[in-house]
A and B are shown apart, each in its own frame.
Chain A
Amino acid sequence: MTNPNNATITTVHTAEFTAGDALKIPTLRILRDDGSLYEGAVAPELDKATAIKMYDTMVFTRVLDERMLAAQRQGRISFYMQCLGEEATTVGSAAALAEQDMIMAQYREQGALRYRGFTLEQFMNQLFSNEKDLGKGRQMPVHYGSKDIYYMTISSPLGTQIPQASGYAYAQKLRGLPNTTICYFGEGAASEGDFHAGLNMAAVHKAPVIFFCRNNGYAISTPASEQFVGDGIACRAVGYGMKALRVDGADILAVYQATKMARDHALKHNEPVLIESIAYRLGAHSSSDDPSGYRSKEEEEKWRQNDPIARFRLWLVEKGWLNEADDKATIEALRTEILDALKVAEKVAKPGIEHLISDVYAEPIPALQQQLDELKAHIRNYPEAYPVTAGRLD
């Protein structure tokens, strides 16, 4: 484009609208519900070890979600968020990345986190806000993060990670790293101003970032139909001059292939790519939410049949990489393992009182040290009111 407006001028002489729904984005599907491939579809190259790791990761998060939601109901943890129904979305995409590609997630991407190697103990320590939590017990459950495995700590405000991912990926490019950044967010978060800011910044500055929209149909209770009017989220990428892909989010092979392709393109051309994954948030938004107030059991049941794990299992069994009997034993063993880890983590002490002021700055400023000293003196006066710290102030 050579004009100052950076816009292609195709002249017409009669006023004519371009329709708001002129752009249709196709949806990639590879794996059928019965575990067979669609006609003409080719499965991505996947070795057995990777495929099994993907499957195990999905099973892990499903069992973890079931167990931890129950723990929340028992009052053992304060809050929880499941990824039920979206396992293939996050695991399939994470599996397509290199280990040092940065993951900047929203909050429902425990599949990606587990795939990277976050241990069961690390999950538990975060969920119980104990002194072994990498985040030092500062954030509500499910706000995981780990520098070692390139998983950016979760932030509650929605969409803030989007322009940050653009900046992170730009820095990767400046440093000449062979890595990309993947940025997960929901179709609801795509209404935030940060979505626009982040996509435009990445496109203009040619940052190798994969924007991964989990369109799961709901933002808490608000259906996607009340969130936007355009054709999903993928079409917006085109407005930013960015390549877009849409995939069936319950089809792990499609998600994997799309993400591989996006990653290759992002790195080869230093360009952002947007992937929209179409799935369904089968669980509640969080442990504080009750979907019966805004959607029907029939609707949920219909989507329950669209189980991403079951679909992948059928494919693995068909390939002879998995047998159903092993699978049942694995799930049972996992349940026990998770319960044992839970029992350990809930007994670990809370972080010490010094962590009230650590990490606010690289070193505590004088006013903070003074406030901590005053607090300790106060706690010494009323030790019974502050049982978590009173016995270990020094």
Chain B
Amino acid sequence: MAKMNMLQAINNALDLAMAKDDSVVCFGEDVGHFGGVFRATSKLQEKYGKARCFNTPLTEQGIAGFANGMAAQGMKPVAEIQFADYIFPAFDQIVNETAKFRYRSGNEFNVGGIVFRSPYGGGIAGGHYHSQSPEAYFAHTPGLKVVIPRDPYQAKGLLLASIACPDPVIFFEPKKLYRASTGEVPEEYYEIELGKAEVTQQGKDITVLAWGAQMEIVQKAVEMAEKDGISCEVIDLRSILPWDADTVAASVKKTGRLVINHEAPLTGGFAGEIAATIQKMCFLHLESPIERVCGMDTPYPLALEKEYVADHLKTYEAIKRSVNF
């Protein structure tokens, strides 16, 4: 074990993946010698050469298209989109090409080797073009997998699993936690299974569900609620697509209550999908309406970020509303 922050854990995962498999190639804007604007690919070009770790021109659709072609040939491109806010020029390549490649060819061809890595989310005074959480757009696209880690240990294991996975994965990294989140991380290779949520804390009165950077937020809210005598079960969803409805439903059947928290705007956010599924699976077990604590239906603000975000206080209030319903 070694103490790593999330960037170091991601860098370590990429290093191990490239060492293990020659077909793993990392590229994106500023990814080469500089090691990426956040330094997630630091030293990889030095170690594996310019052919396997390189800068690309400033073209997200080009990066995604190039990755599709490389993966169709059988390689495992790990392509970085510098900010999730800039993934939209690549939307067509990802949604119409990456996601449908295997299906439309009848499995003659596939691009399962792809991982698109991209820093997402707020909390860095980035305003609306450096703070978005676009996971719901991609969760609406059959053929993709969408994964979001909460800490360095999770980031390494989930990223290695994403690279090994025979399906294309979009891996959103909570950039707020890149340096802020540290922890013990095994130095060797390991994978964390995709599509599985994790119960990070057992409880009996209410289930609180989040992913990525919001896990820290809900943890703070849960600690406040516990001082009020409310026993909370906490779940990290980890995979947005496919998502682990069974683990969430089992928890809600036990607690009878659910609060979902995400950074992205409320309307059309993934919490809506979870709420619809869980009310169907747990209808007779529910003691109160499912609560959603999300971003407001506005672009992500700058000066008023604190007011906008789905913070611990809003989550704490939702927990109380649910318990006192």
Cα A169 to Cα B66 in complex, Å, equals 9
Interface assignment of B77: CB less than 8 Å from any CB of chain A: yes
> A residues within 8 A CB of B59?
196-197, 200-201
Interface assignment of A378: CB less than 8 Å from any CB of chain B: no
Contact A365-B242, Cβ < 8 Å, known A157-B92, A170-B66: yes
For B89, give the chain A residue with the smallest CB separation: A193
Pick from B100-108, B185-193, B251-259, B290-298 the stretch touching chain A. B100-108
Tell whether, in the assembled complex, residue A163 and residue B77 are in contact, meaning their CB atoms are under 8 Å apart: no
Interface residues of A in 118-148 (CB under 8 A from B): 133-136, 138-139, 143, 145-147
Interface assignment of A266: CB less than 8 Å from any CB of chain B: no
Interface assignment of A22: CB less than 8 Å from any CB of chain B: no
> A residues within 8 A CB of B65?
160, 162-164, 166-167, 194, 197-198, 201
Interface assignment of B182: CB less than 8 Å from any CB of chain A: no
Tell whether, in the assembled complex, residue A362 and residue B57 are in contact, meaning their CB atoms are under 8 Å apart: no
Interface assignment of B97: CB less than 8 Å from any CB of chain A: yes
Tell whether, in the assembled complex, residue B56 and residue A174 are in contact, meaning their CB atoms are under 8 Å apart: no
Tell whether, in the assembled complex, residue A143 and residue B66 are in contact, meaning their CB atoms are under 8 Å apart: no
Tell whether, in the assembled complex, residue A134 and residue B62 are in contact, meaning their CB atoms are under 8 Å apart: no
Interface assignment of A239: CB less than 8 Å from any CB of chain B: no
Cα A306 to Cα B12 in complex, Å, equals 62
Contact of B68 among A136, A153, A167 (CB under 8 A): A167
Tell whether, in the assembled complex, residue A152 and residue B110 are in contact, meaning their CB atoms are under 8 Å apart: no
For B66, give the chain A residue with the smallest CB separation: A167
Give the distance to chain A from B237, nearest Cβ to Cβ, in Å.
14
Contact A193-B61, Cβ < 8 Å, known A147-B109, A167-B66: yes
Contact of A160 among B73, B96, B167 (CB under 8 A): B96
> A residues within 8 A CB of B221?
none
Cα A281 to Cα B246 in complex, Å, equals 55
Interface assignment of B72: CB less than 8 Å from any CB of chain A: yes
Contact of B104 among A139, A166, A201, A365 (CB under 8 A): A139
Cα A366 to Cα B25 in complex, Å, equals 30
Q: How large is the interface on A (under 10, 10 to 19, 20 to 34, 35 or more residues)?
A: 35 or more
Interface assignment of A213: CB less than 8 Å from any CB of chain B: no
Cα A366 to Cα B71 in complex, Å, equals 25
Interface assignment of A172: CB less than 8 Å from any CB of chain B: yes
Q: How large is the interface on B (under 10, 10 to 19, 20 to 34, 35 or more residues)?
A: 35 or more
> A residues within 8 A CB of B108?
134-135, 145-147, 153
Interface assignment of B70: CB less than 8 Å from any CB of chain A: yes
> A residues within 8 A CB of B67?
167
For B79, give the chain A residue with the smallest CB separation: A167
Interface assignment of B69: CB less than 8 Å from any CB of chain A: yes
Cα A184 to Cα B72 in complex, Å, equals 17
Cα A362 to Cα B107 in complex, Å, equals 9
Contact of B96 among A138, A147, A155, A193 (CB under 8 A): A155
Give the distance to chain A from B32, nearest Cβ to Cβ, in Å.
11
Interface code A353-373, partner B: CB below 8 Å = 1, 0 otherwise? 000001111100111100000
For B108, give the chain A residue with the smallest CB separation: A147
> A residues within 8 A CB of B299?
none
For B54, give the chain A residue with the smallest CB separation: A205
Interface centre among A133, A145, A171, A362 (most CB of B within 10 A): A171
For B103, give the chain A residue with the smallest CB separation: A359
Contact of A136 among B54, B66, B106, B245 (CB under 8 A): B106
Contact A152-B66, Cβ < 8 Å, known A139-B104, A145-B109, A362-B166: no
Interface centre among B61, B62, B107 (most CB of A within 10 A): B62
Interface code B51-91, partner A: CB below 8 Å = 1, 0 otherwise? 11010110101111111111111110100000000000100
Tell whether, in the assembled complex, residue B109 and residue A152 are in contact, meaning their CB atoms are under 8 Å apart: yes
Interface assignment of B268: CB less than 8 Å from any CB of chain A: no
For A199, give the chain B residue with the smallest CB separation: B62
Interface centre among B67, B102, B246 (most CB of A within 10 A): B102
Contact A171-B56, Cβ < 8 Å, known A134-B108, A147-B109: no
Interface assignment of A165: CB less than 8 Å from any CB of chain B: yes
> A residues within 8 A CB of B77?
167
Interface centre among B68, B69, B73 (most CB of A within 10 A): B69
Tell whether, in the assembled complex, residue B106 and residue A135 are in contact, meaning their CB atoms are under 8 Å apart: yes
Contact A204-B70, Cβ < 8 Å, known A143-B104, A164-B97, A362-B166: no
Interface assignment of A168: CB less than 8 Å from any CB of chain B: yes
> A residues within 8 A CB of B143?
360-361
- B-contacting residues of A (Cβ < 8 Å)? 102, 104, 133-136, 138-139, 143, 145-147, 152-153, 155, 157, 160, 162-172, 174-175, 181, 193-194, 196-198, 200-201, 204-205, 358-362, 365-368
- A-contacting residues of B (Cβ < 8 Å)? 25, 51-52, 54, 56-57, 59, 61-75, 77, 89, 92-93, 96-97, 100, 102-110, 112, 142-143, 145, 166-167, 195, 242, 245-246
New A-B contacts (10) at CB < 8 Å, excluding given A138-B103, A145-B106: A135-B108, A145-B109, A152-B105, A164-B66, A167-B73, A168-B73, A171-B74, A194-B61, A201-B56, A359-B107
Residue pairs across A and B with Cβ atoms less than 8 A apart, 10 shown, are A133-B106, A153-B109, A155-B100, A163-B66, A167-B73, A198-B65, A201-B63, A205-B56, A361-B166, A362-B166
